[in-house]
Amino acid sequence: MIGYILRRFGAAVLVLFAISVLVFLIFFATPGVDPAARIAGKNADPATLAQVRASFGFDRPLPVQYVLMMKHLFVSHDLTSFVNRGTLVIPQIIDAVPVTLSLVVGAAVIWMVLGVGMGTLAGAMRGTLVDPLVMLLGVFGVSLPVYWLGEVVNLITQKQLHGSVFSWVPPLGYAPLSQGVGQWALHLLFPWLTLALLYAGIYARLLRGELINALNEDYVRTARAKGLSERRILIRHALRCSLIPIVSLFGLDFGALVGGAALLTEVVFGLPGVGKLTYQALQNLDLPVIMGTVLYAAFFVVLANAVVDVLYARLDPRVRRA
Amino acid sequence: MPEPLLEVSDLRIRFGGFTAVDGLSFSVRPGEVLGVVGESGSGKSVSMLGVLGLIRTPGAKISGKVVFRGRDLLALKNAEMRAIRGREIAMIFQDPMTALTPVYTIGWQIAEQVRAHEKVSKRAARDRAIKLLDEVGIPAPEQRVDAYPHEFSGGMRQRAVIAMALSCNPALLIADEPTTALDVTTQAQILDLLRRLRADHGSAVVMITHDMGVVSEIADEVLVMYGGRAVERGSRTEVFHSPRHPYTWGLLDSVPRVSGPRVRRLPTIPGTPGAAGQGCPFADRCTHRLAACAEAPPLSGTAGHLDACWLPEEEKTR
């Protein structure tokens, strides 16, 4: 098991290295683009350009450029934004991470509880009215786009009913944990629910299918023949095996969301997270920021996948020796 | 003659309009091995699942009487039935590759069954699992108890499943084609094991199979099923040496012989198995068909050797 974990994280480091090389090449070895001009910022004077060129080694071979770039990114942290000259990229990302993490972790807890709960209920109550009802609810969640649902939620909680039922809802934006857990959670409550609804629907549908398959497996019949209770068969045998694919999907979704895929939710609810940062950078073609956020996103996706694979091996003994 | 351990009378199992088991009656005495033979779809597996209350298809209708140690199993509540399943009646299934939950160790799964029925510590349950694995011939059981199913071969898994089934010393073991998915050498070992365990534990065994060879090796009594009905019942010697039903003749003829002239093709029974209808279920495929076959013959006979056929007595001997 320990050997497996080490191997898995070794592979993750290799993947990260490959991604950083790829990102570097896309941004700095694309023909027709002067990377120095992109990094020096809007309307930079020739002196600054020359200084950037020297500092990033753009007159030297590509491998040297790569190493210098990584040094600016990870060691000296002094890459600056193209649009707002003087704004450092890395601290900007570091400031945005807690917002995104708060949003995604909270939503993940909600969607896992809801999704597993609904999926198990529907799978176990198959053949009764509960199953189609729960699944209808799931489809409902899947079909509501975040940008629409979020705006409707804002319309109701911030405007239409803000005077009466929803007077306790704080204005849009983020409240850091330093202002107290209560304020933090209150600001994030509706973003959490909005983001979680979509994923809860997907997970519930997936788990229901897995569970129904598992309940038809021979080992469930064996478990019944052993004289176990239906609840134990459902939870310890069928659900336990059905959760394996759910966990791997969760890792992918979680990594992608922390990496910036919660962009729509962040923009709609005015949360200054990584997604919003990427969104703004893309609008201005702010190359240094884009590069920073892409590498950051890749880091989280790869890390989440490595963690999931380790978890997967915990859940499924058949994977361990593979 | 001792009291029967299990007495099934007029068991009927229907799925919607399809009758899978049609008025099946048989009994098993303590310590006896009953071989239930028949081809696929003859209702042998489903009747045993019905006995244990393991049929969960919505719309399945089960009627009749299944008396086990004086209690009618079909009338029991779920919780009461659970206490019998796995403790007094254990069942093992055809495919050992899929019969064990893949994510738990063998020992855990055996201990789970022990602890479902007896108040014992985890430690004691584990020790019992090791002892059982040793008993069914798994080498190095102290280590193997912590192995996962995928680390076992098919034969070893079937041994583990048998160990699990025996964990609470059941009075009756129902084995549903326990050797079908195994290669011939392993089959012989598993049959040997079952025979030895029966001697040690004194459990009665119902052995469901389509393999006449298996029946001839292990059974005391034989029940031949066709189309959801019993067509012949008797002791092993009677059924093998003086079979009385045309279907049993067909079954026995389709087994290759060791002695005598070598045939180019083994005889087969023409046609395909049909469902139980109004008349004798075998009538469509029978070479001895009579006008009376439009009505189902009752299971009758003398001295424990029964058959369900309208043929006159003197024609039933070959």
Chain A, nearest residue to B93 by Cα: A222
Tokens standing for residue A216: 């038809």
Nearest-neighbour CA in chain A from B190: distance (Å): 19
Strand duo B229-235 + B204-209: pairing: unpaired
Q: Is the CB of residue A217 less than 8 Å away from at least one CB of chain B?
A: yes
Higher pLDDT, residue B41 or A174: A174
Q: Which two tokens stand for residue A10?
A: 């070794």
Q: Does A78 touch chain B (CB under 8 A)?
A: no
> 3-state DSSP call for residue B245?
coil
- The reply to whether residue A217 touches residue B98, judged by beta carbons under 8 angstroms, is yes
Task: Provide the token pair at A172.
Answer: 């849009």
> For position B276, what pLDDT does the model report?
52
For testing contact with chain A, the best of B98, B101, B115, B132 (most A CBs within 10 A)? B101
Residue A126 domain-assigned (yes or no): yes
Residue that wins the pLDDT comparison between A308 and B2:
A308
CA distance readout (Å), A78 to A22, A166, A286: 21, 44, 15
Whether B171 contacts chain A with CB within 8 A: no
Contact of A265 with A103, CB cutoff 8 Å: yes
- CB < 8 Å to A229, chain B: 82, 116
CATH class of segment(s) B6-219? alpha beta
The confidence score (pLDDT) of residue A5 equals 87
CB-CB under 8 Å, A218 with B103: no
- For position B1, what pLDDT does the model report? 56
Residue at A109 is within a domain: yes
pLDDT at position B180: 83
Is the pLDDT at A322 greater than 60, yes or no?
no
Residue A81: per-residue pLDDT: 76
If you measure CA to CA, which chain B residue comes closest to A312?
B103
- pLDDT computed for residue B277 by the predictor: 65
State the pLDDT confidence band at A118, using cuts at 50, 70 and 90: very high
pLDDT of residue A205: 94
Contact state of A225 with B101 under an 8 Å Cβ cutoff: no
Is A60 in the B-facing interface, judged by CB distances under 8 Å?
no
Give B102's contacts in chain A (Cβ within 8 Å). Answer: 219, 241, 316-318
B161 CB neighbours in chain A (<8 A) are 222
Helix or strand holding residue B167 (H, E): none
Q: What is the phi/psi pair of residue B91, to 5°?
A: -135, 140
What are A51-87's pLDDT values in tens digits?
888 888 888 888 888 888 888 888 888 777 777 767 8
Number of A to B CB contacts under 8 A, please give it.
Answer: 72
Which of B214, B238, B210 lies closest to B226, judged by CA?
Answer: B210
How far, in Å, CA of B94 to CA of B154, rounded?
11
Contact B82/A223, CB-based, under 8 Å? no
SS3 content of chain A, % helix, strand, coil (to 5): 75, 0, 20
- Rounded to the nearest angstrom, the minimum Cα separation between B79 and chain A is 8
Question: Which of B152, B140, B80 is closest to B109 using CA atoms?
Answer: B152
Q: H-type helices in B104-241, by residue range?
A: 106-117, 122-135, 141-144, 154-165, 184-201, 212-218, 236-241
Return the half-sphere exposure (C-beta side, CA atoms, 13 A cut-off) of residue A108: 19
pLDDT on residue B90:
94
pLDDT value for A85? 67
CB B115 within 8 A of CB B122: yes
Q: Do B112 and A226 touch (CB under 8 A)?
A: yes
What integer pLDDT is reported at residue B175 of this predicted model?
Answer: 93
The pLDDT of residue B253? 82
Cβ contact A218–B98 (<8 Å): yes
Report CB contact under 8 Å: A222, B100.
yes
Adjacent-strand bridge partners of B97: none
A203-233 per-position pLDDT tens digit:
999 999 999 999 999 999 999 999 999 999 9
Q: Do B148 and A318 touch (CB under 8 A)?
A: yes
Q: What is the mean pLDDT of residues A283-291?
A: 83
Per-residue pLDDT tens listing for chain B (318 residues): 568 899 999 999 999 888 889 889 999 999 899 999 988 888 899 999 999 999 888 888 999 999 999 999 999 999 999 999 999 999 998 888 899 999 999 999 999 999 999 999 999 999 999 999 998 889 999 999 999 999 999 889 999 999 999 899 899 999 998 888 788 888 888 888 888 888 888 889 999 998 888 888 889 999 999 888 889 999 999 888 888 888 888 888 888 777 777 777 877 877 776 655 677 888 888 888 888 888 888 887 777 788 888 888 777 776
What is the per-residue pLDDT for B134?
A: 92
- Considering only CB atoms, which chain B residues are within 8 Å of A231? none
The residues pairing with B71 across neighbouring beta strands, listed in sequence order, are B68
pLDDT exceeds 70 at position A240? yes
Answer whether A317 sits within 8 Å of B150, measured CB to CB.
yes
Please state, in angstroms and rounded to a whole number, the distance separating the CA atoms of residues B257 and B267. Answer: 12
Q: B102 — contact with chain A (CB < 8 Å)?
A: yes
Q: Which amino acid is at B178?
A: P
Task: Note whether B164 contacts A: Cβ–Cβ < 8 A.
Answer: yes
For A254-292, b/e burial (b = at least 16 CB within 10 A) is: bbbbbbbbbbbbbbbbebbbbbbbbbebeeeebbbbbbb
Sequence ranges of the domains in chain B: 6-219
- Which residue from B95, B117, B150 is facing A227, i.e. has the nearest CB? B117
Tell me which residue of A217, A207, A319 sits closest to B100, measured CA to CA.
A217
A315 in contact with chain B, both atoms CB, cutoff 8 A: yes
Q: How distant is the Cα of B156 from the closest Cα of chain A, in angstroms? A: 16
The number of distinct structural domains making up chain A is: 1
| C-alpha to C-alpha distance for B177 and A41, rounded to whole angstroms | 77
Q: For residue A253, give its domain range.
A: 104-270
For A127, the closest chain B residue by CA position comes to: B58
Q: Do B150 and A315 touch (CB under 8 A)?
A: no
- Taking an 8 Å cut-off on Cβ atoms, the answer to whether B86 and A228 are in contact is yes
Residue A187 lies in a domain: yes
| E strand map for A11-169 | none
Q: In this structure, is residue A43 part of a structural domain?
A: no
Higher pLDDT, A23 or B278: A23
Which chain B residue shows the shortest CA-CA distance from A218? B99
